[in-house]
């Protein structure tokens, strides 16, 4: 459960964090990251620059949606691309209207049927693990007990990562979305809330309950699966990042097809249409979407576009 959800959190936009119901002690205040911090963690993620046939340009930047609060990833190359962009593109909207849509979807698909209890769906020997995981995450058992396992899994994984000092508020999407809004840049999205939400919802809740049971014992007792992802991203090692995602999806190739390969092809087509415009785009998507032969940069190159990058 932890490994696959870590992979999902690296792929999907900030919707995965907006989908987590607000509960006490889950989202602490974050310090503002500045170069004045003595403990700043330098990062040098890769960016790609693409030229269209009619003067359109785009910068492709791979996001990690959770980072340590003191990570400094705003290199001069990235700052320059941000400053010259007139359109910012993200995976999905996270504004107030989108949150309203998301809340309705969670109400419709994230709750157990009336009369069911998540705790009592678990075998007796697993219930103590469930109680411990909920308590450690500072979640309300009164709330989680009426939620589908996949939704509780997201909350537990998010809380576990935040306990290890990785925060969505420090993630690339959060920072760039706020910047674009503050400076009144035009913003577009590659997917709708409904489209991303459908990728979070399992087709068979009984199978996900089995996975939920097996994952409860690992919560809080394993290395954070985001550690190697963040290390590869910070070093600009796209080959390693792609290899890590392949390992995460090794047991579930259909999930990789749905979450990565199919979306990359759709997004490449959308980006190609943008490049027909005489605009300068800054496009931010999950970092794993840009790695390897099926990544968006490789697809654009294969379609004849000039792509400056690794």
Q: Which regions of the chain are under pLDDT 70?
A: 1-13, 16-38, 204-207, 219-225
The string of pLDDT tens digits covering residues 56-92 is: 999 999 998 888 888 999 999 999 999 999 999 999 9
Residues ≥6 apart with Cβ < 8 Å to 107: none
Residues ≥6 apart with Cβ < 8 Å to 163: 136, 137, 220
Q: Is residue 78 part of a domain?
A: yes
In the DSSP assignment, the letter for residue 309 is: -
d(CA 36, CA 46): 24
- How many structural domains is the chain composed of? 1
State the residue range of the domain holding 111.
Answer: 2-19+39-308
Radius of gyration over every alpha carbon of the chain, rounded to an integer in angstroms: 20
Predicted pLDDT of residue 206: 65
Predicted pLDDT of residue 19: 65
**β-strand 57-63 against 280-286: which pairing, if any?**
parallel
List the one residue out of 184, 188, 179 whose CA is nearest residue 267: 188
Q: Is residue 108 part of a domain?
A: yes
Query: How many angstroms from the chain centroid is the CA of residue 8?
Result: 6
Residues ≥6 apart with Cβ < 8 Å to 63: 13, 171, 172, 173, 176, 284, 285, 286, 287
d(CA 106, CA 60): 31
Q: Is residue 31 part of a domain?
A: no
Predicted pLDDT of residue 276: 95
Q: Is residue 29 part of a domain?
A: no
Predicted pLDDT of residue 32: 47
Using alpha carbons, list the distances in angstroms from residue 151 to 52, 74, 121, 132, 231.
41, 32, 15, 17, 27
pTM metric for this prediction: 0.88
d(CA 177, CA 233): 20
Query: In 10 A of CB 99, how many CB atoms?
Result: 15
List the one residue out of 172, 171, 223 whose CA is nearest residue 66: 171
Using alpha carbons, list the distances in angstroms from residue 240 to 244, 261, 287.
6, 18, 12
Predicted pLDDT of residue 220: 57
Predicted pLDDT of residue 49: 96
Q: Is residue 34 part of a domain?
A: no
Q: Distance from first CA to last CA of the chain, Å, rounded? A: 32
Q: Is residue 267 part of a domain?
A: yes
Q: Is residue 301 part of a domain?
A: yes
Q: Is residue 160 part of a domain?
A: yes
Predicted pLDDT of residue 11: 59
Predicted pLDDT of residue 6: 53
């Amino acid at each position: 459960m932890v490994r696959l959800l870590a992979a999902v959190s690296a792929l999907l936009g900030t919707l995965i964090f907006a989908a987590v119901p607000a509960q006490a002690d889950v989202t602490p205040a974050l310090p503002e990251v500045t170069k004045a911090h003595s403990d700043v963690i330098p990062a040098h993620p890769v960016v790609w620059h693409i030229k269209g046939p009619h003067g359109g340009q785009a910068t492709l930047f791979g996001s990690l949606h959770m980072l340590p609060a003191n990570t400094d990833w705003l290199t001069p190359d990235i700052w320059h691309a941000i400053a010259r962009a007139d359109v910012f593109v993200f995976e999905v909207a996270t504004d107030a209207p989108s949150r309203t849509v998301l809340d309705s979807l969670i109400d419709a698909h994230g709750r157990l049927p009336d009369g069911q209890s998540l705790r009592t769906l678990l075998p007796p020997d697993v219930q103590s693990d469930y109680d411990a995981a909920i308590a450690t995450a500072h979640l309300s058992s009164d709330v989680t007990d009426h939620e589908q396992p996949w939704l509780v899994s997201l909350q537990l994984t998010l809380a576990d990562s935040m306990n290890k000092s990785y925060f969505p508020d420090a993630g690339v999407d959060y920072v760039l979305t706020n910047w674009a809004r503050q400076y009144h840049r035009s913003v577009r999205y590659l997917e709708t809330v409904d489209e991303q939400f459908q990728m979070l919802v399992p087709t068979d809740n009984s199978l996900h309950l089995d996975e939920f049971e097996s994952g409860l014992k690992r919560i809080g007792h394993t290395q954070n699966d985001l550690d190697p992802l963040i290390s590869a991203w910070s070093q600009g090692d796209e080959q390693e990042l792609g290899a890590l995602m392949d390992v995460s999806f090794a047991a579930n190739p259909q999930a990789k097809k749905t979450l990565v390969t199919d979306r990359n092809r759709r997004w490449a087509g959308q980006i190609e249409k943008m490049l027909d415009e005489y605009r300068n785009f800054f496009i931010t998507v999950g970092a794993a979407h840009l790695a390897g032969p099926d990544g968006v940069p490789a697809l654009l190159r294969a379609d004849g576009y000039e792509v400056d990058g690794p």
